Amino acid sequence: MGARAEALEPRQARGPGCAAALPPCGRGRSGPPSHPPPTRSWPVTLPARSFPSRFPRRNMAGNREEAPDYGRGVVIMDDWPGYDLSLFTYPQHYYGDLEYVLIPHGIIVDRIERLAKDIMKDIGYCDIMVLCVLKGGYKFCADLVEHLKNISRNSDRFVSMKVDFIRLKSYRNDQSMDEMQIIGGEDLSTLAGKNVLIVEDVVGTGRTMKALLSSIEKYKPNMIKVASLLVKRTPRSDGFRPDYAGFEIPNLFVVGYALDYNEYFRDLNHICVINEHGKEKYRV
């Protein structure tokens, strides 16, 4: 059986949901939102009737004991063995450097499609500034924006998006450094009054995201939401939870889908666990 996820602090509300804060953008909004805005207390406990018996309480390790908390995203338990690398294709130059596939590329993309739907339900009808946290967030951001565009085109929900990029650096080898460096991106003052959707690859300790949020909050955006593809269960977590989480993963250093180890492995489609040989080979 997998270890239970650690208890997580209530999430901080970061500004009003824009559906409440902004007038409808020209197309009137009728009735209450079909999905509650993610400003409620955390973790969310859904009533038992939300889980009809035909959906077994199953996660990626087959553990049926815990009730699912969909706010955590797809929960990958500590005893999830992953997929054998030989079942998938991946670049030859990484042969011998990886332990296993944690999340295949297809599942990543399918999950992002659903995140886009959730985001549209919560903050559709808004002008959004998507702030992609480089470099690790670029694949997630590109796929998320693509899905948001598709929903905008094909439904009565729409979102007008601008995309900006910021670059942060907080890791050397597989260790989080004390200092978070902002080493790129536009002047954050341009975010004043905007509805900002931060798109991040991984929340680990949460320190990077907290530091970024406090830098942005100084400029008084109208709303800030955070979407993170991955959230790690780590004892070093400061309790930060994103508004939208793709997958909750064990405390492992992962690479692929733009996540790197000293700039390597960004060109790997699947999210994989690096092995000791790989860590040694690309150590700086």
Positions in the binding site for Mg ion (CB under 5 A)? 133, 136, 201
Decide: is 176 part of the binding site for ligand IMP (CB under 6 A).
Answer: yes
Burial class (CB in 10 A: 0-12, 13-18, 19+), 174: middle
Identity of the residue, 17 or 243, whose beta carbon is nearer to ligand IMP in the bound complex = 243
Q: What is the gyration radius of the CA atoms in the chain, in angstroms?
A: 19
Identity of the residue, 151 or 229, whose beta carbon is nearer to ligand IMP in the bound complex = 229
Per DSSP bridges, beta strands 223-232 and 244-249 are: parallel
Contacted entry of ligand IMP, Mg ion, none for residue 207, CB cut-off 5 to 8 Å set by kind: ligand IMP
| Distance of closest approach, residue 31 Cβ to ligand IMP, in angstroms | 38
Decide: is 204 part of the binding site for ligand IMP (CB under 6 A).
Answer: yes
Interface pick for ligand IMP out of 39, 208, 222, 269 (rule CB under 6 A):
208
Contacted entry of Mg ion, ligand IMP, none for residue 100, CB cut-off 5 to 8 Å set by kind: none
Burial class (CB in 10 A: 0-12, 13-18, 19+), 66: middle
Contacted entry of Mg ion, ligand IMP, none for residue 259, CB cut-off 5 to 8 Å set by kind: ligand IMP
Residue 70, classed as helix, strand or coil, is helix
Identity of the residue, 204 or 246, whose beta carbon is nearer to ligand IMP in the bound complex = 204
Decide: is 253 part of the binding site for ligand IMP (CB under 6 A).
Answer: yes
Decide: is 202 part of the binding site for ligand IMP (CB under 6 A).
Answer: yes
Which residue has its beta carbon closest to ligand IMP?
204
Decide: is 141 part of the binding site for ligand IMP (CB under 6 A).
Answer: no
Identity of the residue, 75 or 133, whose beta carbon is nearer to Mg ion in the bound complex = 133
Interface pick for ligand IMP out of 205, 215, 262, 275 (rule CB under 6 A):
205
Task: Tell me the residue type at 48.
Answer: A
Write out the two tokens for 151. 């929903």
CA separation for the pair 88, 153 (Å, rounded): 33
CA separation for the pair 277, 70 (Å, rounded): 35
Interface pick for ligand IMP out of 76, 120, 197, 203 (rule CB under 6 A):
203
Identity of the residue, 125 or 171, whose beta carbon is nearer to ligand IMP in the bound complex = 171
Decide: is 248 part of the binding site for ligand IMP (CB under 6 A).
Answer: no
CA distances from 42 to 14, 15, 38, 158, 267 (A): 13, 16, 9, 28, 35
Site for ligand IMP in 42-81 (CB under 6 A): none
CA distances from 102 to 38, 105, 205, 261, 273 (A): 28, 10, 20, 16, 6
CA distances from 246 to 8, 15, 116, 140, 164 (A): 17, 22, 10, 10, 21
Residue ranges in contact with ligand IMP by CB under 6 A: 136, 170-171, 176, 200-209, 253-255, 259
